[in-house]
Amino acid sequence: MSLDVERRNGVARPPGEPAAAPAGGGTALPRLPGRRNPRWIALGVVALCLGALLSYVVYAHVAAESTVVALARTVYRGEVVERADLTSVRLSGGGLPGTVPVADLERLVGQHAVFDLPAGSVLGAGSVADTAVPAEGRTAVGLRLAAGRAPQELLLPAAPVRLVALAAPAATSGVQDALAGKTYTGRVIDQAPGADGASILLDVEVDEAQAATIAALAAAERIAVVRDAGR
């Protein structure tokens, strides 16, 4: 004959026998859950906030990056741009204005450099053109403009401009000036500040038939440049 025996806390107890009372003769009380430490809760909240802030910083940094076209080799003015001349560079912090995205790299191959493009520099918009500069039937003219006679910040390469002939000096104002007020269209090739720090040295492409007149007006300091809408 076998007896069923229950085990409680590792001690065999025959069936029907009442469980032993807890030490001290008292009734066993239910175990209360541990009290949560408010310091650990605060540390958890801080950790969550720091994690969210770090994620935002990483996202903002990646979103602000852009890949643009740069020069792997120097291309001189008028030369044809080859694929080996171009490379890409990643810019952070929103990049630079007027740059060419790397997605447009292939369309630049076969075009002509508008001005000298040094190796390692970022390619700017308007730095290359479909035709050589100056194009057939066009002439490049150099101008030296006094302060206030050109919108310096807007004279970007390939920008369309008008050259306005100014009136002759007061000493010859009695002579009829047929050129005063005439305008000539052109496109900016390049610009640089003058040695005096106030004037502007500007290279423009103009119609071949008008080049001599424009050069004479420039020599007499009778040219002002107006930037027109366009690139």
The model's confidence at residue 85, banded by pLDDT at 50, 70 and 90, is very high
Average pLDDT over the chain, rounded to an integer: 78
Helix then strand count (H, E) for the chain reads 3, 11
Res 162: pLDDT: 94
Res 1: pLDDT: 46
The model's confidence at residue 143, banded by pLDDT at 50, 70 and 90, is very high
Cβ atoms of 193 and 200 closer than 8 Å: yes
Segment among 41-45, 56-60, 77-81, 118-122 with least mean pLDDT: 56-60
Which tens digits make up the pLDDT trace of 21-72?
Answer: 555 555 555 665 556 677 777 788 888 888 877 776 666 555 557 788 999 9
The model's confidence at residue 95, banded by pLDDT at 50, 70 and 90, is low
Q: Residue 115: is its pLDDT beyond 80? A: no
Domains of the chain (ranges; CATH) run 39-133 (3.90.1210.10), 138-227 (no CATH)
Structure-token pair, residue 20: 């032993």
Could you give the CA distance from residue 154 to residue 150 in angstroms, rounded to a whole number?
9
Main-chain phi, psi angles of 5, to 5 degrees:
-125, 125
Cβ atoms of 63 and 92 closer than 8 Å: no
Is the CA virtual torsion 199, 204, 206, 211 positive or negative?
Answer: positive
Q: Residue 210: is its pLDDT beyond 90? A: yes
The single-letter DSSP state of residue 123 is P
pTM over 0.75: no
Across residues 2-23, what is the average pLDDT?
A: 51
